[in-house]
Structures are given as structure tokens and as C-alpha cells.
């Protein structure tokens, strides 16, 4: 639902601005921008990265994006950690735990600028693929002490559902509206959907935010 609302707002904003302003955005060979986004799914966190693109033909660019989402934990990660904490609490007091799943990624693909009659805003769609490294960062405490690396002394061994990392293919789709704010400065309102083909249930990551960059 939030994805649909965001896309509608982006497209509606582009139409209003085009009706109020004249002129056509200046042609450029490419762009580079820093990106700050909210990453949401089972949990909400922050995502940061860098995106760059180069024009290969009219309205068509190739792009590369690298970044990190601070937490992409699925519901199963917290549920599995709760089971371990419950077992540990049978022999210890003051048991606590925390779960986090950061994701580092890199993708490349095609960005297509949608045709408009007039205005300075540039709505676009994009699609690409790449790789993502997903790490399970789960910690257990007894009292105020981190005992994650010493769980064996309590007869507990963590499985691959709670520890380790993996690097898997990633699909990326996106929409947005770029606005040349001043000279080479560009602001980019954007939404990105990512699907990481992990070895368990797979991982969906939604990101929405803004990019600030320059054209060259």
C-alpha cells in the first residue's frame, strides 16, 4: 500500500510541476549523486549509498549503485533468536538479545527517462541486477555481558539461521523524479524495490528517499 501511494505521489508531483514551469531540462552526459533513504519491510532502518549514470542514447542511461541498508531483518530472525533466549533463560537470569541484518549491495542496469510535453522535472523508471551481502548480526546477553561467542558453555550452538553471512544475486526495480534545481545540481525523489535471492525464504527490501548530486 505504501509503495503504491509513493509512486502515485511522485507521478502527480511531476505533472503539477510540469504544468507550472516551462522549458526542457538541459542535456547531460551523466550524473553522480549521494543517496539517503528509509529502508522498510519487516523493520524500518536507514540506507545510504552512491549512484552514478551515463547517457548512452536519448532518454536512456546506464547506472551503477552501491550502498548499505542498516537492517533488513525478516520476522523469522527475531523469532529464532527468541527461542534461543528462552532456552538460555532456563538456566540464567537477566537474559537479553538483539537482532540486526545489515545488507551491502551493488547493482547496475538501465534507467529510462519518461517522455514529457514540457517542464523541468524528469520522471523515470529503472531496472537492474547485481549482488548483495547479507549478514546475520545476533547478540545474546546475560546480565550486562555479551555471551554470544561463549554460548557453548551453556550447551547452546547457533545454527545458520542465526549466524553467518551470504552473498547472493539481487534484482532492483525503481521509479523516481529528478529535478535540476540549480545549474548542475539535481535532486532525485526516488523509490527502489530490491529482491535478494537468499538461500532461505528470500529477502524483499523497499527503499524510499532522496538523492542529491550533480550532472556533467
Summarised one tens digit per residue, pLDDT across range 22-48 is 333 446 799 999 999 999 999 999 999
Confidence of residue 7 (pLDDT cuts 50, 70, 90): very low
Summarised one tens digit per residue, pLDDT across range 143-156 is 989 999 999 999 99
Q: Where are the domains of the chain?
A: 2-215
> Cα–Cα distance between 163 and 159 in angstroms, integer?
6
8 Å CB contact between 187 and 32 = no
Confidence of residue 14 (pLDDT cuts 50, 70, 90): very low
Summarised one tens digit per residue, pLDDT across range 96-115 is 999 999 999 999 999 999 99
More confident: 209 or 118? 209
> Cα–Cα distance between 168 and 106 in angstroms, integer?
11
How many other CB atoms are found less than 10 A from the CB of residue 89? Answer: 13
**Which pLDDT belongs to residue 21?**
37
8 Å CB contact between 204 and 41 = yes
What is the reported pTM? 0.82
Summarised one tens digit per residue, pLDDT across range 66-99 is 999 999 999 999 999 999 999 999 999 999 999 9
8 Å CB contact between 37 and 208 = yes
**Which pLDDT belongs to residue 27?**
60
Query: Residue 183 region, left (φ>0) first, then alpha (ψ -120 to 50), else beta?
Result: left
Query: How far out from the chain centre does Cα 77 lie?
Result: 19
8 Å CB contact between 213 and 31 = yes
CATH number assigned to the domain covering 2-215:
2.40.160.20
Amino acid at each position: 500500500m505504501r509503495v503504491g501511494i509513493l509512486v502515485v505521489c511522485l507521478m502527480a508531483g511531476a505533472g503539477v510541476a510540469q504544468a507550472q514551469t516551462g522549458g526542457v531540462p538541459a542535456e547531460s552526459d551523466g550524473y553522480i549523486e549521494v543517496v539517503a533513504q528509509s529502508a522498510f519491510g519487516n523493520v524500518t532502518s536507514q540506507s545510504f549509498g552512491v549512484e552514478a549514470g551515463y547517457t548512452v542514447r536519448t532518454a536512456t542511461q546506464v547506472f551503477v549503485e552501491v550502498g548499505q541498508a542498516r537492517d533488513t531483518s525478516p520476522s523469522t530472525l527475531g523469532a529464532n533468536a527468541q527461542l534461543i533466549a528462552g532456552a538460555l533463560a532456563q538456566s540464567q537470569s537477566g537474559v537479553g538479545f538483539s537482532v540486526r541484518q545489515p545488507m551491502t549491495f551493488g547493482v547496475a542496469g538501465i534507467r529510462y527517462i519518461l517522455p514529457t510535453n514540457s517542464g523541468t522535472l524528469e520522471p523515470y523508471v529503472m531496472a537492474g541486477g547485481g549482488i548483495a551481502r547479507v549478514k546475520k548480526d545476533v547478540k545474546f546477553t546475560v546480565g550486562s555481558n555479551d555471551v554470544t561467542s561463549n554460548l557453548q558453555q551453556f550447551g547452546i550452538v547457533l545454527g545458520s539461521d542465526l549466524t553467518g553471512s551470504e552473498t547472493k544475486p539481487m534484482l532492483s526495480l525503481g521509479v523516481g523524479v529528478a529535478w535540476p534545481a540549480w545549474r548542475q545540481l539535481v535532486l532525485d525523489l526516488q523509490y527502489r524495490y530490491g529482491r535478494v535471492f537468499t538461500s532461505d525464504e528470500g529477502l524483499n527490501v523497499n527503499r524510499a528517499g532522496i538523492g542529491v548530486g550533480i550532472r556533467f
